[in-house]
Structure 1
Amino acid sequence: MLEVDLAALLLRVTVGGTMIAHGWNHAFGGGRLPGTARWFESIGIRPGRVHALLATLTELGAGLLLVLGALNALAAAGVVGTMLVALVSNHLKNGFFIFRPGEGCEYVLMITMAAAALGALGAGRFSLDHVLGTELDGLAGLAVAAGLGALGAALLLGLFWRPGGAGAAEEKA
């Protein structure tokens, strides 16, 4: 159906383009990767340099794949995982609205849910997945996007996130 294919294209380009811009900013804006690494360390994600690089590469790579409509469900999983880490580690404690001090979770929650929806919707007819015959949608696409993304986020947070004063206590010792 043309309307569904156009909706998938619009959603892919919007989410993918946003992720490319976000990753680009981590790499080349403001404090660049060293600044992003320091920020990761400040919220308890260690080692900051490794995670800054991995997050940046995931944002750029998943964003590009979404724009192209290539490996759509897997790319959406990268977005879901990255945004869930941001949601839990930084935004959730600040409430819902983005304009709240510390930035609330509405922005990252919306991107997370849009990426999960892309997994269910599929890349559509205007995509490399369609051209190559590698389309994945429906419950299987949703399971890949939401399931793998959530699993990746849970593993990263469980293994590498130490919120609160853990870093400060280590630095004083």
Structure 2
Amino acid sequence: MDLDLGMLLLRLALGPMLVLHGLNKIAGAGGLAGTTGWFESLGLRPAAVHARVAAATEVGAGVLVTLGLLTSLGAAAFVGLMAVASFTDHRGKGYFVFKGGWEYTLHVGIVAVALAAAGPGRWSLDHALGLDVAGVRWAAVAAGAGLVLAALLLATSYRPSPNRS
């Protein structure tokens, strides 16, 4: 029961945080236009498409993790999102997030893989539906799929200006 409470608290910390990040991309101070401009400055092309895909992926993965539904799929999305953010926005700024570094993205990605390994707990939709999508294999799937998809996105869409790379 303690593990179930722990996994629920972990999901409630991780999932809503990502949902809010996605909603901020849509309705934050600069709205979707601001997110598009930011993605353009990062070198993600076409920026308008990536702004929408990132926002939808963040909201969707955040909801999945919060509910404990297809948890390892949500974890894979977390890993992919964090890998892309690390490479495009946080790269070259050192480790610490307060200096713009990749500390935050690394930790969120690792915690997502740990969630895939441990599973969402009994207080989840995965458990209610009888879905067994946790363990070492699922952690490897979450990490591997997230990193492969991030690499594919970057290979096909990352075109930074010469002063950014």
Q: Please classify the TM superposition score into its range, dividing by the shorter chain length.
A: over 0.9
SS of match in other structure, 2:44: coil
Is contact 1:40–1:52 with CA below 8 Å preserved after alignment? yes
Distance 1:13 1:156 in 2: 28
SS of match in other structure, 1:46: coil
Q: Percent identity?
A: 48
- The equivalent of 2:102 in structure 1 is 105
Cα 1:78–1:112 shift into 2, 3 Å: same
Give the number of the structure whose alpha-carbon radius of gyration is greater: 1
Distance 1:164 1:115 in 2: 31
Task: In structure 1, list runs of 5 or more residues that go unmatched.
Answer: 168-173
- The equivalent of 2:3 in structure 1 is 4
* Number of residues of Structure 1 aligned to a counterpart in Structure 2: 164
- 1:136 deviates by 1.1
- 1:165 deviates by 1.8
Distance 2:163 2:39 in 1: 14
- The equivalent of 1:16 in structure 2 is 15
Distance 1:58 1:143 in 2: 20
- 1:135 deviates by 2.3
115, 118, 133: which one pairs with 2:130? 133
- The equivalent of 1:170 in structure 2 is none
- The equivalent of 1:70 in structure 2 is 69
| Structure 1 counterpart of 2:110, one-letter code | M
Distance 2:60 2:2 in 1: 27
SS of match in other structure, 1:8: helix
Q: Which moved further from structure 2: 50-59 or 29-38?
A: 29-38
Q: TM-score, normalised by structure 1?
A: 0.91
Distance 2:101 2:161 in 1: 18
Task: In structure 2, list runs of 5 or more residues that go unmatched.
Answer: none
SS of match in other structure, 2:92: helix
Report the RMSD for the aligned CA atoms in angstroms: 1.3
